Structure 1
Amino acid sequence: MQYNPALDGIRALSILVVVFFHCEVPGVGGGFVGLDIFFVLSGFLITSLLAAEYRNDGIEIGRFYARRALRLYPTLLLLVAAYLVLAPLLWPTDDRWLSAVLASTYTMDYAIAFWHAPLTIAHTWSLGVEEKFYLLWPLLLPLILKARRPIAWLVAAFLVASAWRYFVNGTWGWAQAYFSFDTRMSGILLGAIAALVRPTISRRVFMIACVVLAVLIALPTVPSHRVDEADMWRITVAEFAAVVIVSYAAAHAQSRFLSSRPMVYIGKLSYGIYIWHFPLVVLLNRAYGQPWWVTLSATLPFAFAMAAICYHWVDAPIKRQRRARLGSLVGSQ
């Protein structure tokens, strides 16, 4: 796949919204929709990548798993290690070993939904949602692409997943509907549909989607307090708005704002920012009751610094070694 800087710009906007939301910045009470954008973007990118592999030499599942593990696991393990060291001092009431196991095995999503796991690194629930997608999708996508009407199957899966979320919310509650993989896969599926269809999005429709997301973000209800059945519709609306924005950015790689250097760099750091920001938010905002501006002022530079360290000193060397090994393999053939 050809690199598209505008998609990194979308990552940048999404992670900033999520951080502002977690810091409880006024006017960003609906900032949780930033994760819906991430889910749609993941579905779009991974499906685009796997579909291209499928059309060429076929999907090499083992290599795909290895790439995902090398991209995601090192930074996560660094967070878990830091948490295990610091938890006795900063979060003494946490069951730190349980939290470490749940985060490392990508099972935090169901732990929060059904067991009320400790909060400090509970943000790794979204990583659990995406990791299950990474595990299943290389196996399922070839079967879907071989079907007579693959898009129809994906649309049906999206509708079933969305309906299932509403049913779970009404039957068991918002936590089970909000945090679990089976109830949050709808956005990923919508991104997958867009990757295969590649819809043409006009600038006017793109701007409308941006306004819709801005309105959703500005809504005052905070899901960590209460989400009812009506609020579940906000997730669906956010998913549709996100797929419009992602599809537009995919066709406009050189968007002046999204592909600008600052936005692209923040987008490249977005995974690390997400990994590192939340424990400090929990410490400052929830444990010590600091106002939002203190929490934000401390969290942003800390998360950016840790993300930059992980990106340049962990991710980049691993990527160089992987490319060097691939080059040597190609050269020997």
Structure 2
Amino acid sequence: MKYIYELDGVRALSILAVLAAHLLPLGPSWMDLNFSSGLLGMSLFFALSGFLITNFLYQTPDRIAPFFIRRSMRILPLLWVYGFIVAVLIYNRWDSFGAIVTFTLNYRDAQILPGLSHLWSICVEFHFYLFIGLLIWAFGRRGFWAVPVVFLIILLLRMDLGATSNIRTHLRVDEIFAGSLAALLWQNRDHGWTRRLYHVIGKGFWLWFALLLLSCHRSMEGLMYFRPLFGFMVLTALLDHQEGWLRRFLRWNVFTYIAGISYALYIWHPLFRLGWLGEQGSKVFFYLVKRPIAIFLTFVVAHISTNTLERYFMNLGRRIEKRVSPPSSSPLPESRG
């Protein structure tokens, strides 16, 4: 299965949207564009994550141990290093570090500190990994029948509780399940009614994208409940999109690079909003001097981190994987995870 470079473009744009939401002024405050940009970035990031993870497990349902090894070596080392620096070295809060290590931070508001608030999303992702991994371990590919059921249950629960955007896993993980649905449809795109559905959705890319944008704004409260559904539509339609300027744009080499360091960008960037780089002083100096420095440092540290700490542990994970499980004849996933 070929590498889908367009997905690197989606990953890059999603992390850039999050960075912009946290580090830049996006229009007048009354327009609330920073909130919308962050919500859009996370929706795309979550959907892409669900798509890639589900693709891997669908193709290799017998390789659950390697799956958990890969995910752990990809996520944990950098997360724990960053969490220790901020929670312990800066704040001397071992309780916050414990919440990070146990992936309970998104349920423990008292432990969420400046510089750590973004880590709620890693908790949501890891809870998804555990659920989907154990589901496929127990039931094989039949376990994927639970994906649309869980997606619908969470959608109805959010509507019942009025949760348009929330950091609790049971009120947010449907954005990742949206990517799972896209992967299941894509894997079965050549069979019967799924082929027709796949192509029908594919014809409406710009409609779905417009609806996704609208569903990320707080003024569209009713539409916000369906943000995960629009994320599913956008990802599915993109995969069916004809070759043209959009696909060429998403394959841009700069996006491939940004996608490669995206996890580190996400983890490190709040560190450079603390201390002297915080919002003290005049707004002019803050936005013209401090924020450019913060953005520059974020990219430099992310590049170094990706090519040292993360690369070491990912290579270590591959070595452990070879010892734990022999190579599978099934195809590997088609994008970076």
TM-score, scaled to structure 2:
0.77
Map Cα deviations across residues 198-239 of structure 1 (whole Å, 9 max, x no partner): 23367752223333444556x4x5xxxxxx9x63742523x2
2:81 paired residue number: 78
Match of 1:62 among 50, 62, 65: 65
Q: Deviations over 1:21-55 (max 9, x none)?
A: 1125224331122111111111111111001012x
Distance in 1 (CA, whole Å) between partners of 2:54 and 2:289 is 40
What SS does structure 2 have at the residue aligned with 1:257? Answer: helix
Name which of 154, 160, 174 aligns with 1:186: 174
What amino acid does structure 2 have at the position aligned with 1:184?
R
Q: How many residues align?
A: 301
Distance in 1, Cα, partners of 2:207 & 2:148: 23
The residue that corresponds to 1:208 in the other structure is 207
Query: Is residue 2:1 matched to residue 1:5?
Result: no
* Aligned residue type for 1:99: S
Aligned to 1:243: 232
2:117 to 99, 122, 128: 122
Separation in 1, partners of 2:83, 2:312? 21
Q: Deviations over 1:258-302 (max 9, x none)?
A: 111100110111110000011323544456675445453122211
Q: Give CA deviations for 1:116-147 in whole Å, capped at 9, x if unaligned.
A: 63232121000000001111111113637327
| Aligned equivalent of 2:161 | 168
Q: How does 1:1-333 map to 2 (within 5 A)?
A: 2-27=2-27, 28-29=33-34, 30-33=36-39, 34-54=41-61, 58=62, 60-84=63-87, 86-87=89-90, 94=91, 96-112=93-109, 115=110, 117-141=112-136, 143=139, 145-146=141-142, 151=145, 153-169=146-162, 178-198=166-186, 199-200=198-199, 205-215=204-214, 219=217, 221=218, 231=221, 233-234=223-224, 236-237=226-227, 239-251=228-240, 255-283=247-275, 284-285=277-278, 291-323=286-318
Please tell me the residue identity of whatever aligns with 2:208.
A
Residue pair 2:264, 2:302 contacting (<8 A) in 1 also: yes
Task: Note closer, same or farther for the CA distance 1:207–1:305 as it changes in structure 2 (3 Å cut).
Answer: same
Residue 194 (structure 2) aligns with: none
Query: How many Å apart are 1:169 and its aligned residue?
Result: 3.6
Contact conserved, 1:4 with 1:253, CA < 8 A, in 2? no
| Structure 2 partner of 1:90 | none
What runs of 5+ residues in structure 1 fail to find an aligned partner?
A: 88-93, 222-227
Whether the 8 Å CA contact 2:95–2:111 is kept in 1: the answer is no
CA-CA distance at 1:163 after TM superposition: 1.7
Question: Do 1:23 and 1:295's aligned partners in 2 also have CA atoms closer than 8 Å?
Answer: no
CA distance in 1, matches of 2:105, 2:281: 25
Q: Provide closer, same or farther for how the CA distance between residues 99 and 201 of structure 1 changes in structure 2, counting only shifts above 3 A.
A: farther
Does the C-alpha gap of structure 1 residues 316 and 250 become closer, same or farther in structure 2, counting only changes over 3 Å? farther
Q: CA shift at 1:109, angstroms?
A: 0.9
Residue identity matched to 2:224:
R
Question: What secondary structure is seen at the aligned counterpart in 2 of 1:120?
Answer: coil
Contact 2:202 2:239 in 1 (8 A): no
Gaps of 5+ in 2: 28-32, 187-197, 328-337
> Contact 2:99–2:111 at 8 Å: present in 1 too?
no
Take 1:165 and 1:282, find their aligned partners in 2: how far apart are those partners? 33
